[in-house]
Every structure is written in structure tokens, then in C-alpha cells.
Amino acid sequence: MGNGDVALSEFARRVPVPPARPFLDTFRANLKETFFPDDPLRQFRDQTVPRKFMLGLKYFLPIFDWAPTYSVSLFKSDLIAGITIASLAIPQGISYAKLANLPPILGLYSSFVPPLVYAMMGSSRDLAVGTVAVASLLISSMLGKEISPVQDPALYLHAAFTATFFAGLFQASLGLLRLGFIVDFLSHATIVGFMGGAATVVCLQQLKGMLGLQHFTTATDLVSVLQSVFSQVHQWRWESAVLGCCFLFFLLVTRFFSKRRPKFFWVSAAAPLTSVILGSLLVYLTHAENHGVQVIGHLKKGLNPPSATSLTFMPPYIMVALKTGIVTGIIALAEGIAVGRSFAMFKNYHIDGNKEMIAFGTMNMVGSLTSCYLTTGPFSRSAVNYNAGCKTAMSNVIMSVAVMITLLFLTPLFHYTPLVVLSSIIISAMLGLIDYESAIHLWHVDKVDFCVCVGAYLGVVFGSVEIGLVIAVSISVMRVLLFVARPRTTVLGSIPNSMAYRRVDQYPAAQSVPGVLILGIDAPIYFANASYLRERISRWIDEETERTNGETSLQYLILDLGAVGSIDTSGISMLEEVKKIVDRSGIKLVLANPGSEVMKKLDSSKVLEAIGQEWIFLTVADAVAACDFMLHTCKSSGASCENVV
């Protein structure tokens, strides 16, 4: 054994190759780890049958987890919160149902049954369930293209129930199959732009109520809405405009006051119901309905009638209901889970995203059978619930009871509620969704995310809600594909007086090692980037050879694979080609810090034997030390380093 081999054995660190597992066992283990990383059935093992039954109940019905320890003090807090959010849910429910071109009573139905289901199945203590403006707008725009809510209201209503059923089925399926990562394709930038665009469109749609127009376009884009507004100038009602502006001013002032003084959050929460009461009294006393001010009219008393027989699964309407359900289901999930996680973070507790999906899906499926349309956890209502001091999901139950009392006894009181007040309530709620500060922050932090945000906003405002969503998701997916197809490769250098090796373009103090080129690959190696990486590594070798012309020639190429989580067959072929390239140049290929998955693939493909296990190191520092020692040994002995390597 030569001196070089003895020295190398002292510095080399071999990574033991794990024993090969049968293919089927490996496949099952990887599948389980991917889709069921926290399998709840694991805790059932070694448990008695009654214990297993209780654990199952607590998992799917979290109410059995917190209800046994529920106390009077908790109920007092939840009672105040429940009554507070009920005062907001009643006017908002009626308003959003009108936005969806559905009977106003459905907004109250949707604030009665779904909150009861969520209180039993949801894992968030702060989420307040109800209808939302964006989902209502989506239902109106997507269903309205195929079915007219004016010419065929019964079919439109049945399609809305069917879309809600499909949305719930889709949401519950995602939770049961643990496929919640699909919702993650809606990035923060996407949601900011999409919500801002949807809020702008919703506000524009309310010009119909604010101006007292009888006929209005069903399109949602800016050009169509403005054209519809200004083509009917002769039909504008100044009474509605004045009344609407006054109530909008009142709602905005109360919101501003509550933001400046958080202790008075109830002022903003009670403002919508106060507006409804004042508006109804004003219309009743002045007979304003005879002067062009439109009112809600008769609302049917009683609880939700069953709607199971109203679901329509016959073509051609089943496809539009299915598409509407999937799109609205994803949007509702993204909003509800994001809101739930935000408030859970404030109170330092954890919510299970898969449980939330199952809860949302179940409450929407049950809701579709009881005359409800799509519900989720809106931010405005949940913020009021949080500020009111809710402790558990019992606040949803109390809100539901308050809505039930309204359905049984108080619905006739809404007969004289002016539609312009409902438009003011929607506009005041939507203005809070136009988050221009987040857009400015995205511009300063990440220009690509800003483009995603602007693309989503412009797509919604000038196209449609679906177009904006597709644009935003497409830009986000293209960005991910670009990162995968063009991963970053950087030259690493030694930080003085340490064993750390960092990027030389980021750390000016990082020093290159003579005769050694260290490259870091910052992504998994797949078929999509294998060719690019091979060309990029060859270019780095050529540049380093030109840079060191006349100095110590390049003898070693170290690839830092610490960030390479996985590799496929194309990536393995790329490493084989890189091995051939460096061999022709008289350079030795060295691998540092490969992961277990990469090592298994290299071992099974025999690439490990071609490279040599003695040239696999745990850290870049170990690899550099071995290479540096070999270079010094060659120079001191006068031997040719090329023959040694």
C-alpha cells in the first residue's frame, strides 16, 4: 500500500451502505411515510377495544376531547362570543346569499346547521363558521354562466346545493387521503392577489344595490360591470345612493374606531346588525320602498327544510356543479385552514389540517342536504370570535342557537331591510380583503411573488375569478418547475479558522482551496435538471481550469450533496457522465454528505463502485482534508498526482 493510500485511509470517512430491503417493503414504507407520516392508527396498538373506540371518537369528533372538562367559566366566555358573532352572522348571511343570487333565507340556514357540525368535528377553538363573499361570488359567476337564477331559479338553487355537496365531498376526501398539500399550491402571494381581486369585483357588483338598479350584468370583469353601470345612468336612484353612502360611512367609521381601540371590538361587530335595524326602521317609517328603495321582502319562518331530493346529478348540469364545487371547495379550504392556523398560533395550540378538511367536508355535505350552501371559516367573523374571548368551539353552537331563534321568530322583522344596506355591509367587509400593504411587502422581498400577486389580481378584475385563479396557480407552478429544472450550483470556499464551507459569492471571506473545486447542488437531481447540471458542472470545471492556468492545476472535484434529498435514474446517469468527464480531464470525483436515499440509489446502480466508496465523505471538510493531504503527499514525494488519483 502506497503512502497516498495510507494517508487517505486515515482521513477518509466511509458512509455505510444500508442493507438492501425487498422492493415491496421499501415501496410500502415510502408510501406510508409520504401519505401517512403521522398515522393516527399507530396509537391504537396495544389498546383495549373500548380504548380504541374512544380514541377513534376523539380523533374524528374532537368535541369528546374537550367537552368532559367544559366548565361554567368557559361557557360564560363562549356565550358572549357566540352572541357577538351571531349579530354579525345574521346580516352577513343574508347579504352573501344575495351575492350568490340565492334566496336570502339560505344565508341564515347556512349559519345554523354547519356551525353545529363543525363544533363537533373541528379542531379550532376560534374559527367561526359561515358563508363568505368570495365563495358566494364564485357560485354566482360559475353557475350563472350555465343557469339563469332569474329565468330558472329552482334549477339554479338545486345546482347550488349540488355544488356544495361536491365541494364537501372533495374536501373530506382530501382530509381522509391526507392530500392537503394540494391546497398549498395556493401560495400566500396567490391568496393576497386573488382575495384582493375578488374583493374588488364584489365591491363593483354592489353598485347594483347602491344605485338601485333593477337589471345588471352577470359578468364579473371590470369592463362589463362599468359598462352596465354607465349604460343605465337614467335609472340611477339617488335615494338608494344617499342611503347606501350614509350606512357605508357608518360601517367604515365603526371599523376604524375598533381598530384604533381593540377593547371596543364589539362596536364594529354590532355595526352590521345595527345598520339592518336602522335601515329597516327608516324604510318602514318613511315608506321609502315606494320611492325606489328595494327591500328584502318576505322571509319564510322555520328551520331548514331537507334538500336531499333537490340535488341534481343529471347531465349537463352535473359537470358545472362538479367544477363549481371543486373550485369553491379549494378556495374555502385555503381560507378556512389559513384562518384557523393563524388564530391557533396566537393562542399557542395546534390544529390538524386533515381533521379540518374532514370537518369542512362533512359540514358542507350535511349542509347541502339541509338547504345550506357553501360555508367555511371567514376571517372577519373568526376575528370577532377571537376578540370576543371565545374559549372553545361552543361559541359556534351558541351562534347557531341564536340563528335558530331568529329563524323561528324574527324573520318577519327583516321584511323592510333595504338591499342597499346589505350592499354597504358587503363593501365594508370586502375593503378589508384588499391588502395593498402585503403587496408592497412582496415587491420589496420577492419580485416573482409580487408578479404572482398582481397576475392573480388582474386576472380576477379584468377576466374572471376562474381566470385569476388559473393565472396565479400557473405562475406559481412555473416558478416551482423553474427551480426544479434550473437548480442553483455554487462554488464553496473555506471560512478562515473554522471547518465550515460556504458560498464564495455570499461570503467574501470564503477562500478557495488550491487544486480543489467544491460545488454545492441545492436541489434534488431529477430528469428535468440532469442535463442542465451536467452542463453547469462542466462549465464550472472549464472556468476553474482557465482561472488556475499557470498555478496549481485542478485535481479534485467535490460535489456537496447535502441538499440533494433524492435522485432518479436520470440523475444517476448524469453522475456517471460527470465521472467520465472528470476522468478524461485527469480529475478525481469526490462526493460529500450524500443522503441515505441517494446512497441506496448509487449502491444499487453500481455507481458507488465506479466512484469508489473511499471517495465518499461525511462532510465537505473531511473531503477537503483528504484531497489536500493527497496533494501535499504527491508534491513532497515528487510523484505524479495524476497517477495517484
Predicted TM-score of the model (pTM): 0.75
pLDDT digits (tens, 9 = 90+) for 30-52: 545 544 445 554 554 545 666 66
Residue 295: DSSP 8-state = B
What is the C-alpha to C-alpha distance for residues 438 and 444, in angstroms, rounded to an integer? 10
- Average pLDDT over every residue of 476-504: 85
pLDDT at 11 over 50: no
Of the listed ranges 29-38, 76-85, 439-448, the least confidently predicted one is 29-38
Instruction: Check residues 286 and 117 and name the one with the higher pLDDT.
Output: 117
- Average pLDDT over every residue of 460-484: 82
pLDDT at 253 over 80: yes
Cell numbers for 30: 415510502
The confidence band for 228, taking pLDDT boundaries of 50, 70 and 90, is confident
pLDDT at 507 over 50: yes
Angle, to 10 degrees, between the axis of helix 133-144 and the axis of helix 188-205?
70
- pLDDT of 212 reads 82
What is the C-alpha to C-alpha distance for residues 291 and 294, in angstroms, rounded to an integer? 9
- pLDDT of 637 reads 62
Buried b (16+ CB within 10 A) or exposed e, 30-66: eeeeeeeeeeeeeeeeeeeeeeeeebeeebeebbeeb
The confidence band for 158, taking pLDDT boundaries of 50, 70 and 90, is very high
User: By percentage, how much of the chain surpasses pLDDT 90?
Assistant: 29
- Average pLDDT over every residue of 493-499: 87
Nearest to 454 by CA among 480, 431, 476, 428: 476
Residues linked to residue 521 through DSSP beta bridges, in sequence order: 489
Torsion of CA 319, 324, 329, 334, to 10 degrees: 140
CATH 3.30.750.24 residue spans of the chain: 486-644
The confidence band for 96, taking pLDDT boundaries of 50, 70 and 90, is very high
User: Cell numbers 391568496 label which residue?
Assistant: 191
The confidence band for 195, taking pLDDT boundaries of 50, 70 and 90, is confident
- pLDDT of 179 reads 79
pLDDT at 365 over 80: yes
- pLDDT of 45 reads 52
The confidence band for 5, taking pLDDT boundaries of 50, 70 and 90, is very low
What is the C-alpha to C-alpha distance for residues 399 and 405, in angstroms, rounded to an integer? 10
pLDDT at 319 over 90: yes
pLDDT at 423 over 80: yes
Nearest to 7 by CA among 638, 516, 560, 628: 628
pLDDT at 559 over 70: yes
- pLDDT of 19 reads 43
The confidence band for 168, taking pLDDT boundaries of 50, 70 and 90, is very high
What is the C-alpha to C-alpha distance for residues 472 and 296, in angstroms, rounded to an integer? 37
- pLDDT of 407 reads 94
What is the C-alpha to C-alpha distance for residues 99 and 163, in angstroms, rounded to an integer? 16
The confidence band for 211, taking pLDDT boundaries of 50, 70 and 90, is confident
pLDDT at 478 over 70: yes
Pick the most confident of 177-191, 284-298, 360-374, 550-564: 360-374
- pLDDT of 267 reads 87
pLDDT at 76 over 70: yes
- Average pLDDT over every residue of 351-355: 84
pLDDT at 391 over 70: yes
Query: For the chain, what is the mean pLDDT?
Result: 84
Contact 435, 200 (CB under 8 A): no
pLDDT at 3 over 60: no
Instruction: Check residues 226 and 19 and name the one with the higher pLDDT.
Output: 226
- pLDDT of 644 reads 46
- Average pLDDT over every residue of 593-618: 86
* C-alpha torsion sign, points 203, 204, 209, 215: negative
pLDDT digits (tens, 9 = 90+) for 426-438: 898 888 888 888 8
Name which CATH class applies to 486-644.
alpha beta
- pLDDT of 639 reads 53
